[in-house]
Amino acid sequence: MNNELKVSFYLKRESRLEKSCVREDIAYPIIGKIIIGNSIAQFGTKLKVEEHLWNVKSGRAIGKSRVAVELNREINFINLLIHSHNKEILHRTGKVTATQVKNAFQGIATAQKTLLVHFKDMAAEFRSRIGIDRAASTYPKYNVAYKNLERFLKEKYKVQYIPLNQLDLPFIEAYDFYLRVERKLKAESIVSIVALLLKAVRIALHRNLITYPPFLSYKPEKPEFHIRPLSAEEFERLISTPLKSPSQSFIRDLFVFAAFTGLSFIDLKQ
């Protein structure tokens, strides 16, 4: 059975007059069409656009105006949702029809949680626990990770939203490449940013927002750490440098004590 999915969008004119006489001041409904093998299904998008702003070949609005950009963003999001439902049904049952995908889209399209919304919720939960069992110093990492993820979606997929069940191995591999090559971030920063994305996925799995781990075989490249011993001059400077903070002085004293006695970190901690 041919399971290839094709999604297209077109304008619908209701009356014969509308079909024969195009007026630039009329906004026509945008209709979506799903084709899978020999099965076809159509659906309403609840979107409208004027004829002169519509490109029939691409099935998108023309230009860079705010209206066109917002409209194309909504269409791209619908397209992503449809592909997501198609993938999920095919993964679950081994076969899929256009009507099944249409019904899945119309049934839960508005309720499907997106990655950035889920990530925001995770960050908000962390923030609410600061001072209880979470450190305030860690919270900025969530903001950095969110901004990188948001930027990646805009530049790579041209969307602001992506449903959680649309995530897969190519997504995180593309994200890793984006951070490493296009953003030129250091390996330590990449590990920190990706770790929060992986955490968001684990939470989504635990809360049944997705049914299977999308990044199962992904292995982040770990940074190499080169530990260099202190020279005698550097060690002497460490001992003699005045510190204003009592906690910093205490930490330095512990380090110096361990250096002279050979005591391990674990023994020192205990």
Q: Do the Cβ atoms of 28 and 48 come closer than 8 Å? A: yes
Question: E-strand spans in the chain?
Answer: 5-11, 27-36, 39-50, 54-55, 60-61
Token duo for residue 50:
């004027």
Q: At what angle do helices 115-128 and 187-206 cross, to 10 degrees?
A: 90
What are 213-238's pLDDT values in tens digits? 999 889 887 767 677 888 888 888 98
Question: Which residues in 71-96 are b (16+ Cβ under 10 Å) and which e?
Answer: bbbbbbbbbbbbebbbbbbbeeeeeb
pTM for the full model? 0.56
Domain range list for the chain: 5-108, 120-206, 232-269
3-state class of 115 per DSSP?
A: helix
Token duo for residue 256:
């110096």
What are 82-127's pLDDT values in tens digits? 998 898 888 767 788 999 899 888 875 445 678 999 999 999 999 9
Non-local (6+) Cβ contacts of 251 within 8 A are: none
Amino acid at 135: A
Per-position DSSP letters for 75-113, written without gaps between them: HHHHHHHHHHHHHHHHHHHS---HHHHHHHHHHHTTTPP
Q: What percent of the chain has pLDDT over 70?
A: 91
